[in-house]
A and B are shown apart, each in its own frame.
Chain A
Amino acid sequence: MKRFQRLLAVLLSASVLNLTAVQSAQAALVSTEEAARLAGAAQSESGHARLAAALARDDVRAEMLRQGVDPTLAHERIAALTDDEAARLADQIDSAPAGGIIGAILLVFFVLLITDILGLTKVFPFTRPLR
C-alpha cells in the first residue's frame, strides 16, 4: 500500500511538472492567452501556474492521495480550463482565511475533483441546496 501511494505521488508530481513544462516549451512564441493577458490588465502570474504551485504542495498532495483522487482526470479537467478560469479558481484559494489554506485548496479542488467537501472543511460558507 505504501509503495502504491508512493507511485501515485510520483505520478501526480510528474503530471504537475508536465503542466508547467508544456508552457515553457512553447516560450518561443507568446501564446494567445498570454498575449491577451499582457494586453489587458497585467496579472503577475498565470492561473495554471498558481494552481500547479498549489497542487505541488506536499500537504495538499498527501491529502489528495489520502482521498484517492485520480491525478490523470484532475490534470485533464484543469487543463481544459482557460488561464483566466484557472486564475479565478486560484483567487478563491487566495481569498481563504489564514490558517484555512489547505482546507480551501482542497475545497476548490474537490469541487473539481469529484469529492464531496462537506465534512472535510468549513472554510467557505458553502451554499448547499436545501432539500
Chain B
Amino acid sequence: MAAGTPACAVRAPRPRPVARRLLALVLAALLAGGCATQSASLLAQRPPGLPTRVELADTPFFPDDSHFCGPAALATALSAAGLATRPDELVDRVFLPGREGSLQIEMLAGARRSGAVATVIPGTLEALLSEVAAGHPVVVLQNLGLSWAPSWHYAVVVGHDLEAGEILLRSGPMQRQALALRTFEHTWKRGGNWAFVTLPPGRLAATATEAEATAALVAFERAASPAAAATAYRAGLQRWPDSYTLQMGLGNVLHARGELAGAEAAFARAARHGQAAAHNNHARVLLALGRAGEARAAAQRGLAVAGPLRATLLDTLQAIDAALPAPAR
C-alpha cells in the first residue's frame, strides 16, 4: 500500500526522553491485544444521523506520486471549498525541499494564506465521517509506516460506506482509494488522529469544538482581509454568541474596515466579560466616535482590571484626556 506514496509529510521535532519512549512502546505492545477499535464499535452501532454511504464525488483530484502529497491534499480540499488552487501554487508555502515534505502547522497556515479557514477537528472517526457527511472533505495525516519507522502521508477523506466497512480517499496517485475502515483507523492513529477541514469564510466545521473553531478563526484574521475575517467571525458568533474572543475579533476587523458603529457594538458585548483588552478597545472606538465621556468611563473600567495591559490603558486614557475639553476632566 505504501508503494507509490513515499513519505511526504513532516512532523515537527518533538524531543522525547528515550525512557519514556521505551515505556510507551511496552505499553503499546501490552494494550494492542485487548483494545477495541473505534471502527469496530462504529460499524457495530452506527451513530444516529450518520448516513450509511457518503461520497463527495465532485471533489477534485490532483495525482501525486512523489513528495508533494501536502500541496496535493491541500489543493484538493481548497478547490472543493470553492477556492480553486493548484498544488504547484502551494509548493512555496507548505513544502520543505530539504525535508521532502510538509509540516502540519504550515498546512494550516498555507490554507489560510489561500483564503480558507482551516479548522482542526476532533480526532475521532465519528467526527471525521460526520464532517464528510456535512459535505466537507477532510485532510488527514496518516502514518503508512510503523510508529518507530514512520512514513508520513497526507490524504483527503471524501466518503465512506459503512455497509462495506470502507473509507474513501483521494490519496497520492489514487483517485478513489477504498480502504478498510479498520486499516485506515490504524494509519490515522499512528499519525496522531490529526485532521482538518478548509472552508470559505462564513462556513464552520460541523464537528469542531468551540476552542478549535475559535483558534481557527483568530488565525484566519491574521491572513485574511478584514471583510473576509468579519464574515468568518460572524459565522462563529452565530454558533457561539457569548464568545469573548470572537466578539473581540469582530470588533477589531470592523474597526480595521472603518465600521466604527459595528465595532463599538462588538466591543461593548465583549466588555461584558470584564476583560481589560475589551474595555481598552471599546474606549478607543468610543473616542473615535466622538463620545469621549463614555470612552473615559470605559478606559477607567479597564484600568481597574488592567494587569499586564496597564500601560496600554494609560495610553488610551491620555489620548482621551487630550481630546476632552479641560473642564470636563
Contacts and interface: CB of A to CB of B under 8 A. Distances in A.
Query: Do A and B actually bind?
Result: yes
Contacts of A36: 214, 218, 245, 248
Nearest to A115: B98
B85 to A, nearest CB: 15
A77 B106 contact: yes
B178 to A, nearest CB: 25
Contact of A32 (B92, B145, B252): B252
B249 interface: yes
Contacts of B105: 81, 85, 88-89
Contacts of A34: 277
A130 interface: yes
B255 A29 contact: yes
Interface stretch (A1-9, A12-20, A55-63, A104-112): A104-112
A30 B312 contact: yes
Given A36-B214, A81-B109, A92 B309 contact: no
Contacts of A127: 11, 13, 150
Nearest to A78: B109
Given A81-B109, A127-B150, A129-B145, A32 B15 contact: no
Interface string B191-225: 00000000000000000000000110011011100
Given A36-B218, A39-B244, A39-B275, A85 B149 contact: no
A82 to B, nearest CB: 4
Contacts of A129: 7, 145, 149-152
B98 A110 contact: yes
Given A29-B281, A114-B97, A114-B98, A80 B152 contact: no
Contacts, number: 124
Contact of A35 (B96, B110, B248): B248
Interface residues on B, range: 35 or more
A82 B219 contact: yes
B280 A124 contact: no
Contacts of A107: 13
B10 interface: yes
A32 B109 contact: no
Contacts of A29: 252, 255, 280-281, 284
B186 interface: no
A53 B276 CA distance: 27
Contacts of B255: 29
B12 interface: yes
B142 interface: no
A98 to B, nearest CB: 13
Contact of B215 (A73, A79, A82): A82
16 contacts: A29-B252, A29-B280, A35-B277, A39-B273, A42-B308, A77-B93, A80-B112, A82-B218, A88-B12, A92-B12, A92-B13, A111-B96, A115-B98, A116-B99, A127-B11, A129-B152
- 10 interchain residue pairs of minimum CB distance: A116-B98, A30-B277, A129-B7, A35-B277, A32-B249, A80-B109, A82-B219, A124-B13, A36-B245, A35-B248
Interface of B: 7, 10-16, 18, 92-93, 96-99, 103, 105-106, 108-110, 112-113, 145, 149-152, 214-215, 218-219, 221-223, 244-245, 248-249, 252, 255, 273, 275-278, 280-281, 284, 307-309, 312, 315-316, 319
